[in-house]
A and B are shown apart, each in its own frame.
Chain A
Amino acid sequence: MEILQYIFGGIITFLLAFVVGMTFGGTRRKIIARIQNRYGPPIYQNFIDAFKLFSKTSAVHHGAMHYMGPAFLMVSSVVSLMFIPILRDGGWFPNLNFHGDLIFLLYMMVFGSLGMALGAGQTGNPNSAIGVTRGLAQMVGYEIPWIMALVAMMIQFHTTSITGLMDVQLQSGTWNLFASPFAFVAAILASLGMFRYAPFNIVGAPAELASGPASENGGKYLFTMMSSHSVFAFVKLTLFADLFLGGAGNLVELLIKTFLLYMIPVLYGVVNPRYRTEQAVRWFWGWPTVFGIIAIAYAVWST
């Protein structure tokens, strides 16, 4: 019975993440459009796009990995989702958050990149391969401040689990945003790279690589990738809310917190061009890493 509960809860969580992620994506398009003096698409446009991709009637494949790439991507986002507490008390989302900790989550979250990279490699498109090298390089870039922020939190609060970090905030009454501000800054700066919006949209840079790893994927593959990206956006936002903003007691709180967090990369991205790969990687090893080191020092000092 427990297993059924998990499966059922997992599906509900997935649907929630899918809907929220897609709506956020649509909102992003709307906001960008407004900044660009346009009316913009409706905020449910992403659903239409996704369903259109889903209902494409033909597809091509280049081999087994072509199928498995999007599947790996989905594994990364959905499994990460299932190990993150959505609400503080679980409620309708009885997921597996007591069964994994942050380090597990770190690996689970980077797994998608590698899996997608394999799928992109099978297509044999040179643009895909170049996009993959860029994506992996960028990943190594932003993982450094990100792990620093997480390690700082772990040291400061003596726990490596997300639920532990949420409990700490509940007990002390302050958000970790204030308890370890530098870690928050480092993590947010790293998140700019994770979201891959400008100036870090170097992987699928259209003017350079014609959408990079996704070049050969249309229809059902792109649908899977799009859903996975939406879910993953939700995962990242919820994780940030859990780690730094004390989690959420109910859905409204969750939506407000995640939306505010989502606006940081979105609004930063609208007004910036794209970095070159090595510039992006170096950017992450500049100030974000400095903040990460300060965060660790602060954590050591404060415990």
Chain B
Amino acid sequence: MNVIFLILILFLVGAIVTAFAGKWSSLLQDGLFILAVTIPAVLFFTQVEMNQLVGWTRGGIHLELGLTPFSYFFAILVLLLGVASAIYSVGFMHGKARKSYYYFNYLLTIMAMLGILFSRDFISFFVFWEIMTWASYLMVVMNGTRTQEIGIKYFVFSAIGAYAMLMAIVLIHAQTGNFLIQDFIDTYPSLAHGRQILIPILLLVGFSVKAAVMPLHVWAPGSYAYSPMSFTSVFSGALSKMGIYGMVIVFVTLLSHLPEGGLIRDIIAWMGAMTAVIATLWAIAQDDARKLLAYSSVGQLGYIVIAVAIGTPMAMLAGLFMAFMHGLFKGALFMVVGAVEKQTGTTDFTKVTGLIRKMPWTFLTALISIIALAGIPPLGGFIGKWMLYESLILSDHYLLVIVAFFSSTAAFLYAYKFLFGFFLGQEEEEWADVKEAPITMLIPMLALAVGSILLGAFPQLILKPINNGLISLGFSDSYGKLWETSTLFNEWGDKVVLQPIIYAIMGVFLTTLAFTYFRNRKRTRYVSTKDISTSGEIPLAHENLTFKENFFQPFLRAVEPVMKKQIDWYYREFGAGLEAIFNFTRRIYSGNGQTYALYAVIFLIVLLLLNGNLFGQ
């Protein structure tokens, strides 16, 4: 049996076995679960060879699976996060209900993502895509909180994406006669102009939903926030990148042949930019860590979309590097939230406070990941941001730089809020006996944080696979030009050398820290956070000294006249529209078999019309 099949089947078998193992022993189930992730992962990294295709034909349809260098890069991300999050899940799900359900869907999701990356034909691609969607949907509704609203949003938007994609696939089949991706790419330049525009747009709609590009991002905040945190780190860190994966392929292979390709790319880049800005502003306004990170994920995906939409070699490198970094730090941050949720029972900033001395390692993870998120050197986040800005300036997208930089600076606000919200501030009585998270949760978190540090010093570890993937997609070898040993170049010849930066930062940091720590060490005493200068007054017991409510009100008040109206309008209108869609879907899924049949007929008619003379031959 081919190793690719083996991996997928192992996942599937593992999912089923793990799900049932819970009946006998919880410990056995945990062990099986970890094995079910790690064994295929090890198999993948040791056994799978590049560009090795497996295909078979059934009923006139030829299906193919294989690994390209480009999907190899995404597979690294998926498996890395998959394994880390799986170990974390064991700790996180300990003692929680519906563990089997969780494990089953988790494994299924990982399998589906790998399946997508393996797929070399549209049918298997679509099938895995749908498995991924369904499995993650089941995760979103798992907690049972606000399932109606959140689940249906996710479902509806996924359905929109799926239909768009399905339509594209049908159109493609009509053109090429088979479902092979490569065949379609080869025939694409010879298609009619209308088709040439329609098919990529339909595909992009499908991918944009997963990548949460505005205006198709409405599902994302809720779904990220309300699925179990251990899963969200995969959901936001890896699953959303499947959209990026698809988008890059569309951009590179299809739109580059199209005269209007530049325009479409620019539009998508601007959509990404608006996503970044608006989601960032919304993230600033959140009081719940899960929602804050959810909006932040949408915003960060916005940058990635900007980068891949611009599509110069350096922007592509930047986008994919940021995608990987986002997987690392956002995965870690969601794990942090999960740890806090597990230990305190809530993720509300206004409730939890001052955990730094209770959960120091969790705080360390959060600190490193936040620094990476904010794009501060020397961590990996900076390298992505640097390449993004340089490529935007060099490709004459001046306003995009400003917008991207604005949301990147504004991201500092929610980054600070996240750290301050949980870990800093007053240490309150009610959280006095909070313990550090269990070791199974700490290790994956810290591992991801270490990854962020590592990529700051040695970005070539991941830039090289990215470059290989891009070469396989037909890009020139930008690796050699843009990246020499620990030096970032742009095409104007400006450079950033990483080693001196790291040495300088570490040197100054440690020196100053040593100074502040050792100066008067003996006469420096620890005082509790209650002993602060409260203007001489003695605080009463019930008085709250941590500033949490309406945290960034002055900033939000400043952006109010510029943004508030639009955000309000946007969300009100969109909310109203959404409600209409919900009502509509409720009617669609009426449970009446006859109606379903009717829909099928309507859908077929639409397809036929589209396939027919509507767009010309």
Q: Which residues of A contact B (CB under 8 A)?
A: 3, 6-7, 10, 54, 56-65, 67-68, 70-72, 74-75, 78-79, 82-83, 96, 98-101, 103-104, 106-108, 110-111, 113-114, 117-118, 121-126, 129-130, 132-134, 136-137, 139-141, 143-144, 147-148, 151, 154-155, 158-161, 164, 210, 215-216, 219-221, 224, 276-278, 281-282, 285, 292, 296, 300
Contacts and interface: CB of A to CB of B under 8 A. Distances in A.
Interface string B413-447: 10110011000111100000000000000000000
Contacts of B494: 101, 159-161, 164
A114 B356 contact: no
Interface string B497-527: 1001101110111001101110110011111
B384 to A, nearest CB: 12
B20 interface: no
B545 interface: yes
Contact of B555 (A59, A99, A137, A210): A137
A57 B406 contact: no
Contact of B385 (A98, A107, A125): A107
Given A78-B508, A104-B501, A118-B419, A215 B532 contact: yes
Contacts of A136: 412-413, 416, 552, 555
B535 interface: yes
Interface residues of B, number: 82
B189 to A, nearest CB: 34
A133 B424 contact: no
A104 B375 CA distance: 10
A297 to B, nearest CB: 9
B360 interface: yes
B501 A100 contact: yes
B389 A124 contact: no
Nearest to B535: A210
Interface stretch (B97-105, B258-266, B295-303, B397-405): B397-405
A78 B405 CA distance: 23
30 contacts: A58-B520, A59-B523, A61-B526, A61-B527, A67-B513, A83-B501, A99-B501, A100-B501, A103-B496, A106-B405, A110-B376, A111-B377, A114-B412, A118-B416, A118-B424, A121-B419, A124-B546, A129-B551, A133-B547, A137-B555, A143-B406, A151-B398, A155-B393, A155-B398, A160-B492, A161-B494, A216-B532, A278-B555, A282-B561, A296-B399
A137 B516 contact: no
Given A101-B496, A151-B393, A124 B354 contact: yes
A158 B494 CA distance: 10
A65 B356 contact: yes
B409 interface: yes
Contacts of A151: 393, 398, 401-402
Interface string B303-327: 0000000000000000000000000
A281 B558 contact: yes
A293 B427 CA distance: 46
B554 interface: yes
B409 A110 contact: yes
Contacts of A108: 376-377
B496 A210 contact: no
Given A126-B547, A137-B554, A300-B398, A220 B515 contact: yes
B424 A121 contact: yes
Contacts, number: 246
Contacts of A67: 513, 516-517
Contact of A125 (B492, B532, B551, B558): B532
A71 B555 contact: no
B500 A6 contact: yes
Interface of B is mostly: helix
Interface of B: 354, 356-357, 360, 367, 374-377, 382, 385-386, 389-390, 393, 398-399, 401-402, 405-406, 409-410, 412-413, 415-416, 419-420, 424-427, 490, 492-497, 500-501, 503-505, 507-509, 512-513, 515-517, 519-520, 523-535, 545-547, 551-555, 557-562
Contacts of B425: 121, 124, 129
Contact of B377 (A61, A96, A104, A158): A104
Contacts of A160: 390, 393, 490, 492, 494
CB-CB nearest 10 A-B residue pairs: A124-B529, A121-B424, A277-B554, A137-B555, A281-B558, A129-B547, A99-B497, A278-B558, A71-B512, A74-B512
Nearest to B415: A114
A58 B402 contact: no
Contact of A63 (B356, B376, B390): B356
A261 B491 CA distance: 33
Contacts of B377: 104, 107-108, 111
Contacts of B509: 71-72, 74-75
Given A114-B415, A215-B533, A63 B357 contact: yes
Contacts of A74: 508-509, 512
A124 B389 CA distance: 36
Contacts of B405: 106, 143-144, 147
* Chain A CB within 10 Å, residue with most, of B401, B500, B552: B500
A228 B131 CA distance: 55
Contacts of B426: 124
* Chain B CB within 10 Å, residue with most, of A62, A83, A139, A210: A62
* Chain A CB within 10 Å, residue with most, of B493, B507, B529, B558: B558
* Chain A CB within 10 Å, residue with most, of B412, B503, B516, B525: B516
Contact of B520 (A56, A143, A278): A56
Given A123-B529, A133-B554, A277-B555, A70 B409 contact: no
A282 B558 contact: yes
Given A75-B508, A111-B376, A160-B390, A61 B524 contact: yes
A147 B402 contact: yes
Contact of A144 (B406, B490, B547): B406
A79 B360 contact: no
A65 B492 contact: no
B412 A58 contact: no
Nearest to A133: B552
Given A62-B526, A71-B509, A151-B402, A104 B386 contact: yes
A212 B472 CA distance: 54
A21 to B, nearest CB: 16
Contacts of B490: 160
Contact of B505 (A79, A110, A114, A216): A79
A159 B393 CA distance: 10
A185 B531 CA distance: 46
Given A70-B512, A72-B509, A104-B496, A140 B393 contact: no
A36 to B, nearest CB: 27
Contacts of A58: 520, 523-525
